[in-house]
Structure 1
């Protein structure tokens, strides 16, 4: 039997619209590290795209681990892309200039277009992704039309990696 707090959490996730497999990705807007405005899923249309979302500084290791592994396997293949998506909410938004400049310094210039920083709206996205852990990466795999095909939250895990890789390959094949 569910406890009252668990029931309240489930109800709040249902009201907020928990993201589900097969749904189109709701609009997500931010700027890449070069300063270019990006709106997803429109910017990803035509490619199988992995979004690796982080909600806190503590998530950076998990986000970077997933990005590194995905890059090793898929970066050279046509029709596949990924974005790291740091979501900055609350009072941290006031430090936007410092945060952006620090991320630019810590990211090779060639990768600036692969990091989309989103300021604001993180509460809605936490609800959509069932946020539980500030140190976790939140993965969203989109097919070429912008529909969600895989969701995962957590640190790099071999079973989750195998599932992500096979789902990515499946949607690459279906799109041809």
Structure 2
């Protein structure tokens, strides 16, 4: 008579559980905050916008912009509220910048279901804004997380990047109207075309 639960089955299920736990740990690594990213170059990464186009965010991306770019990095769905407030504040002030939102989702499992995740984002974002949302998965996501930190994952990580890729200003402690005004003043003080 065969035992209802054999040693072979136990080893198989224990192995599967170990792999699952390892994968989940890879998805939830906490990187300490990088206190001084101002003056550093934003990491070169690539992702796909919600239109399905591959976007390389590197020196050629930055140099193609005549205006500085506000890069909004979000690690969790909760950070979308923060991103929305920053976008609204920037638009209300008429700050002459480009805007790009980088949902940043590391790990193997999210990469495997990226189509479902992106489809969910498309359902909540008007199609005219899809080109400004570039989702980072895998190594690109890890590069951004390890560079900026992610210990305040529910906040947006807001960075002003010039056309060389240098971070001129950074904030990640939640939306602040006074800091939106500070960002606007900084952008307007940058010499060069801001049309």
Deviation, structure 1 residue 19: 6.0
Higher relative strand content: 1
Structure 1's unaligned 5+ residue stretches are 1-11
| Corresponding position of 2:51 | 34
Largest Rg, 1 or 2: 2
1:134-168 C-alpha deviation (Å, 9 max, x unpaired): 21000110112221100110221123222211122
CA distance in 2, matches of 1:153, 1:81: 19
The residue matched to 1:98 in structure 2 has which SS?
helix
**In the alignment, structure 1 residue 81 sits paired with structure 2 residue 133:** no
Q: Give the structure 2 partner of residue 97 of structure 1.
A: 115
Map Cα deviations across residues 27-61 of structure 1 (whole Å, 9 max, x no partner): 02111111111122422323210000001112111
TM-score by length of 1: 0.79
Moved more, 18-27 or 41-50: 18-27
Pair 1:65 & 2:78 matched: no
Q: Could you tell which deviates more after superposition, 121-130 or 84-93?
A: 121-130
Paired residues in the alignment total: 158
Superposed CA deviations along residues 85-114 of structure 1, whole A, max 9, x for unmatched, are: 100112322321111111112111111111
SS in structure 1 at match of 2:104: strand
- Counterpart in the other structure of 1:161: 180
Report matched runs for 1:1-176 at 5 Å: 20-41=37-58, 42-45=60-63, 46-74=66-94, 77=96, 80-90=97-107, 91-121=109-139, 122-171=141-190, 174-176=191-193
Q: Find the residue that maps to 1:57 and give its secondary structure.
A: coil
Which blocks of at least 5 consecutive residues in structure 2 are unaligned? 1-30
